[in-house]
Amino acid sequence: MTRERDIKFLLKKYSTKQPGEQFTSPRLKMEYNNKEWRLAQKIRTCKYVMDELGIHGQDRDRCIYLVKKIPFKELHRNASCETIITCLCFYIKKLQTPKRRTYNYKVCKEYGVDEEIFSLIIARLCNYLQQHSYLYD
């Protein structure tokens, strides 16, 4: 019994992709769903930042909506996804309490968000939303 199990185990472990086959390993399935995985990673980061900033209720849905719909490369080419997500979440937080500063929060320091990067990303966000709204078509 164990020998048969060992042979099946080894065959499964060392099997290679043959022409015409699809998804012979879980790794290939992961590469196929890479886009969904990256989106889930962004949402996970967004939830962490929202918890650190104390964002609750409908504002959480707004942050997740922005993360899903806005292409990050149009906001800032060199900034990391975490930095852009932090700016978007802080923007939603700042709508509720306008006198907040980025240096008051540990998560902003952690991801390298300062007032200059924040204002640049929010300006480009507004520009992107104006260009893609129905009023300017």
pLDDT tens digits for range 106-137: 999 999 999 999 999 999 999 999 998 876 55
Alpha carbons 29 and 34: distance in angstroms, whole number: 9
Examine the pLDDT at 95 and tell me if it is beyond 80: yes
* Full-model pTM: 0.74
Handedness of CA 72, 76, 80, 86 (dihedral sign): negative
Domain ranges for the chain: 26-136
Please give the Cα distance from 41 to 30 (Å, whole number): 13
Average pLDDT over residues 18-37: 66
pLDDT at 28: 57
Decide if pLDDT at 29 tops 80.
no
To the nearest whole percent, how much of the chain has pLDDT over 70?
82
Q: What is the pLDDT of residues 42-79, one digit of tens each?
A: 999 999 999 999 999 999 999 999 999 999 999 999 99
